[in-house]
Chains A and B, each alone.
Chain A
Amino acid sequence: MTLTRRDFLSTLGGGVVVLCVVEAADAQESGRRARGGDAHPQEISAWLHIGEDGIVTAFTGKVEVGQNIRTSLSQAVAEELRTPVAGIRMVMGDTDLTPYDMGTFGSRTTPTMAPQLRKAAAAAREALIDLAASKWGVDRKAVQVEDGRIVAVGRSAGLGELTGGKQLVHKIGADVTLAPAAEWKIAAHSVAKVNGRDMVTGKHRFPSDVKRDGMLHGKVLRPVAFGARLANLDDAAAKQIPGVTVVREGEFAGVAAPDAATSERALAALKAEWKTEEGQPSDSQLFAYLKANAEAAEDRQAQGSIEQGMADADRKLSGTYTVAYIAHTPLEPRAAVAEWNADKLTVWTGTQRPFGVREELAAAFGIPQERVHVLMPDMGSGYGGKHSGECAIEAARLAKAAGKPVKLVWTRQEEFTWGYVRPAGVIEIASGVKKDGRMTAWEFHNYNSGPSGSQITYDIPHHRIQFHPSKSPLHQGSYRGLAATANHFARENHMDEIAQALHLDPVEFRLKNLKDERQRAVLAAAAEKFGWGKQKPAEGRGFGVAIGFEKGSYLATCAEVAMEGGKPKIVRVVQSFECGAVVNPDHLRNQVEGAIIMAIGGALFEQIRFENGRMLNPRLSQYRVPRFADVPVIETVLVDRKDLPSAGAGETPIVGLAPAVANAIFQATGKRPRSLPMAV
């Protein structure tokens, strides 16, 4: 099923090879598979090779999607190998060259993959020291690795110079000691993006930039609505166009032609009749539909008795909150180039799960996975939206029929319509609180949007948190942070309502119900930087605060909003973030700032509109995403905890903005927004 280690070793020349193999049950939810129970143990493996030319190559199945993990993983290797980052080459997400990996999602690369690469690098360093000590006839304590060289008194050698044509293979497990974060010299620093120069010069080849000899350009015929069946296809006119191949396999129909303009012409020449499924739900009925189709609930967190908690309360509140479907809108849409050579299929494609896509391709064509090679060049982002392989399969179908490589790049409209969206949802909360602000009861129900981030860090003696899966009218899946944005929006919005009802300061009220020290620390850090409590907002403005915890990271967000012509304008955001030991401060700030800006879209204006199986706004001219003028002043406070393991940071910084803004809007207007987006 995976590339065998023997195959791997035979592809490498002499030098030192370290295979770090760790069996781990990683049952993290990936959104799409949350209900599939796909939790079988998987290796979290990393391989490292130091060639005789001194080139260090690290192999991982993880992929670069803009989270700058290629850089931070290079730092992890460089740190333990005591070698400059420039001397490290990362081979990522290539199913023929890298160890199996489940996928790049759930903010798992930093906590799970970085330690494996660090262990491999540390083991390689120790092996080189042993080798030098024995070759030079000195005590190993007298040998060190410094700045990419092995050195002892009066002796020095490059990393690759000592193996003498042999391949020395070390297999290691989890029991390798690593340098503590407090001693990091390369990690913990702001190393620039390793392939940044290729980005600013246009040299980097994204998946949609891949070109092969004799390559054709594909187009796929899309149904007129969700669930529509292809009743009849007249392809005579399309086939008349020189160079055009038309493919029809069941419900699939597409064309391939020597250039994109001809393939567009051929697609337009296909005359299709569709049998549509009428009476599908529309966005206006969405929330009632999700409630009506809810399945049995799953307890996510429960303690005590809600009845008791409510009986203990002086005040009881309840609220219903909704979130719309939104689209990831990665600037690079789904893209794939597929090529068949004899019986082997090679596909370059933008995906967060190259091994998953390999599995999908093997299943689609009924061939063993060994005959499918998926390569994932660093892509134009994903945000959780590129887990699936439909574009890769379509390109491979066209390539197979045409007998030539085919490139397929989804149009923006296809990306909106035929990808998947962030789940919409309904959240209901009932709470009880003492007059002095101590919480007694918390009952929380999420319908359809998901359970992530619904857990509480507040100390509430009686609580029950449930997730109710439902039937989604639209194809839905993972989105950066999963449902944590929706659940934080509802929870922190409701907490603010309680504070207001009791005339308590929202920060004081939260602290009163928080024992978790990490949560308290980020709240204090954000409040201080924001100047919380120091002044009142100007007329027509409001301040809001929210806190959060998800995927091992803590945050607190303070926002200032100004109402302009009845619409909220976010003026200033202060966000503190703590994810254990910081690996790359500048890239972490970049992630936090970027997540805040992305969050503005879902908070204020992003919303997929649909009616009877059809998307109503599948274009960037109709679906508004944040632009330059939407950006507030953003101040980031990083709380660096060198005593704690590093957690991932690509997702959780997105969850605090919406509730902080909602609470600021309430302060400015006296009206509480309970639906995302808030400014439509």
Chain B
Amino acid sequence: MPRVIELNVNGVARPVNAGPERSLLSVLRDELDLTGAKYGCGEGQCGACTVLLEGEAVRSCITPLSRAAGKHITTIEGLEQNGRLHPLQETFLETGAMQCGYCTPGMIMSGVSLLAKSANPNDGEIVHGMQGNICRCGTYPRIVAAVRMAALRQKTAGRTA
């Protein structure tokens, strides 16, 4: 039966009335109106639903609410700080790393997670780290360039994700 579960989303406590088996994706989108994370496959294969749990990328479509409760959840909506985009959001824009943009939030969240683990990834590591995210428009080379450029920018700015 539904009960109130408290989620910590983008630094804000958000009580939701939903069962612990509900997917984090459906709760974010339908209950909290955070629609940046997308449905793409429902089986963790495409990465469109990627959000961060304690800074680490997870596929929210196969993450039950019970696993997310009590943890820090970051969605694409929470990346911008005080009107300032995250370096990876900036470099996605600068490299034109999108066409339709539907995969973009998930790509950026996977990239942020990757950069948190590896501050200076080479192209092979970026490809390996992003392999679970699909872009059907085929902007992969630009996404690799965006991640590489953001890594460089973070290094020079001394800012971490």
> Which residues of A does B touch, CB under 8 Å?
65-68, 192-193, 196-206, 208-209, 211, 217, 259-261, 329-333, 378-381, 383, 409, 411-412, 586-587, 590-591, 593-598, 619-621, 625-629, 631, 634
Do A200 and B141 touch (CB < 8 A)? no
Q: Which of A205, A590, A619 has the most CB of B within 10 A?
A: A590
What is the predominant secondary structure among interface residues of chain A facing chain B? loop
Q: Which of B98-133 contact A (CB under 8 A)?
A: 98-105, 108, 126-128, 130-131, 133
- B40 CB contact (under 8 Å) in A211, A331, A591: A331
Closest partner residue, chain A, to B107 (CB atom)? A200
- B75 CB contact (under 8 Å) in A202, A593, A627: A202
B58 CB within 8 Å of chain A: no
Do B102 and A621 touch (CB < 8 A)? no
Do A200 and B136 touch (CB < 8 A)? no
B139 neighbours in A (Cβ, 8 Å): 590, 593-594
Closest partner residue, chain A, to B103 (CB atom)? A331
Do A192 and B39 touch (CB < 8 A)? no
A67 neighbours in B (Cβ, 8 Å): 99
A65 neighbours in B (Cβ, 8 Å): 100
> Given A197-B93, A590-B139, A619-B43, are A260 and B30 neighbors across the interface (CB < 8 Å)?
yes
Tell me, rounded to whole Å, the shortest Cβ–Cβ distance linking A17 to chain B: 31
Query: CA A28 – CA B79 in complex, angstroms?
Result: 44
Do A199 and B104 touch (CB < 8 A)? yes
Q: Apart from A261-B26, A594-B99, what 15 extra A-B contacts exist at CB < 8 Å?
A: A193-B93, A193-B101, A201-B80, A202-B75, A208-B38, A261-B22, A331-B100, A380-B38, A381-B99, A586-B96, A619-B41, A626-B140, A628-B130, A629-B131, A634-B141
> Given A199-B104, A217-B30, are A620 and B41 neighbors across the interface (CB < 8 Å)?
yes
Tell me, rounded to whole Å, the shortest Cβ–Cβ distance linking B120 to chain A: 18
Do B141 and A620 touch (CB < 8 A)? no
B12 CB within 8 Å of chain A: no
A594 neighbours in B (Cβ, 8 Å): 99, 137-139
Chain B count of residues within 8 A CB distance of the other chain:
57
Do B144 and A628 touch (CB < 8 A)? yes
Closest partner residue, chain B, to A413 (CB atom)? B42
A634 neighbours in B (Cβ, 8 Å): 141
Closest partner residue, chain A, to B108 (CB atom)? A200
Closest partner residue, chain B, to A590 (CB atom)? B96
Do A331 and B79 touch (CB < 8 A)? no
Do B42 and A200 touch (CB < 8 A)? no
Do B101 and A625 touch (CB < 8 A)? no
Q: Which 10 interchain pairs have the tightest Cβ spacing?
A: A202-B36, A66-B100, A597-B138, A380-B102, A199-B101, A594-B138, A202-B76, A66-B99, A209-B35, A620-B45
Tell me, rounded to whole Å, the shortest Cβ–Cβ distance linking B41 to chain A: 4
Closest partner residue, chain A, to B127 (CB atom)? A628
B75 neighbours in A (Cβ, 8 Å): 202
B72 neighbours in A (Cβ, 8 Å): none
Do B42 and A412 touch (CB < 8 A)? yes
Query: CA A591 – CA B43 in complex, angstroms?
Result: 29
Do A206 and B102 touch (CB < 8 A)? yes
Query: CA A134 – CA B97 in complex, angstroms?
Result: 48
> Given A332-B102, A378-B101, A590-B96, are A201 and B38 neighbors across the interface (CB < 8 Å)?
no
Taken residue by residue from 134 to 150, chain B's Cβ proximity to chain A (1 for < 8 Å, 0 otherwise) reads as 11111111111000000
> Which residues of B does A touch, CB under 8 Å?
18-19, 22, 26, 29-31, 33-43, 45-46, 48, 75-77, 79-80, 85, 89, 92-93, 96, 98-105, 108, 126-128, 130-131, 133-144
B133 neighbours in A (Cβ, 8 Å): 628
B108 neighbours in A (Cβ, 8 Å): 200
Closest partner residue, chain A, to B36 (CB atom)? A202
A-B contact pairs, 7 of them (CB 8 A): A193-B96, A196-B98, A200-B98, A202-B77, A381-B136, A590-B96, A627-B131
Do A200 and B38 touch (CB < 8 A)? no
A587 neighbours in B (Cβ, 8 Å): 96
Do A199 and B136 touch (CB < 8 A)? no
Query: CA A587 – CA B98 in complex, angstroms?
Result: 10
Do B136 and A409 touch (CB < 8 A)? no
A196 neighbours in B (Cβ, 8 Å): 92-93, 96, 98, 101
A259 neighbours in B (Cβ, 8 Å): 18, 26, 30-31
B77 neighbours in A (Cβ, 8 Å): 201-203
Query: CA A619 – CA B41 in complex, angstroms?
Result: 7
Query: CA A206 – CA B37 in complex, angstroms?
Result: 11
> Given A595-B138, A596-B138, A628-B127, are A204 and B45 neighbors across the interface (CB < 8 Å)?
no
Do B135 and A331 touch (CB < 8 A)? yes
B144 neighbours in A (Cβ, 8 Å): 628
- A598 CB contact (under 8 Å) in B18, B31, B105, B136: B136
- A200 CB contact (under 8 Å) in B35, B89, B140: B89
A595 neighbours in B (Cβ, 8 Å): 138
Query: CA A259 – CA B80 in complex, angstroms?
Result: 29
Q: Which of A202, A596, A625, A627 has the most CB of B within 10 A?
A: A202
Do B100 and A378 touch (CB < 8 A)? yes
Tell me, rounded to whole Å, the shortest Cβ–Cβ distance linking B31 to chain A: 8
Do A204 and B101 touch (CB < 8 A)? yes
Q: Which of B48, B89, B98, B138 has the most CB of A within 10 A?
A: B138
- A260 CB contact (under 8 Å) in B26, B33, B142: B26
Do A593 and B138 touch (CB < 8 A)? yes
B39 neighbours in A (Cβ, 8 Å): 208, 333, 409
Tell me, rounded to whole Å, the shortest Cβ–Cβ distance linking A63 to chain B: 11
Query: CA A550 – CA B128 in complex, angstroms?
Result: 36
Do A66 and B101 touch (CB < 8 A)? yes
Tell me, rounded to whole Å, the shortest Cβ–Cβ distance linking B140 to chain A: 5
Query: CA A633 – CA B34 in complex, angstroms?
Result: 36
B34 neighbours in A (Cβ, 8 Å): 202
Do B136 and A329 touch (CB < 8 A)? yes
A383 neighbours in B (Cβ, 8 Å): 136
Query: CA A625 – CA B136 in complex, angstroms?
Result: 8
B126 neighbours in A (Cβ, 8 Å): 628
- B134 CB contact (under 8 Å) in A199, A260, A590, A627: A627
- B45 CB contact (under 8 Å) in A379, A586, A596, A621: A621
A598 neighbours in B (Cβ, 8 Å): 136-138
A211 neighbours in B (Cβ, 8 Å): 33, 35
A192 neighbours in B (Cβ, 8 Å): 93, 96
Query: CA A595 – CA B139 in complex, angstroms?
Result: 9
Do A66 and B131 touch (CB < 8 A)? no
Do B100 and A202 touch (CB < 8 A)? no
Query: CA A68 – CA B98 in complex, angstroms?
Result: 9
Tell me, rounded to whole Å, the shortest Cβ–Cβ distance linking B83 to chain A: 11
Query: CA A344 – CA B36 in complex, angstroms?
Result: 30
Query: CA A412 – CA B49 in complex, angstroms?
Result: 13
Query: CA A200 – CA B85 in complex, angstroms?
Result: 9
- A631 CB contact (under 8 Å) in B98, B136, B141: B141
Closest partner residue, chain B, to A379 (CB atom)? B100
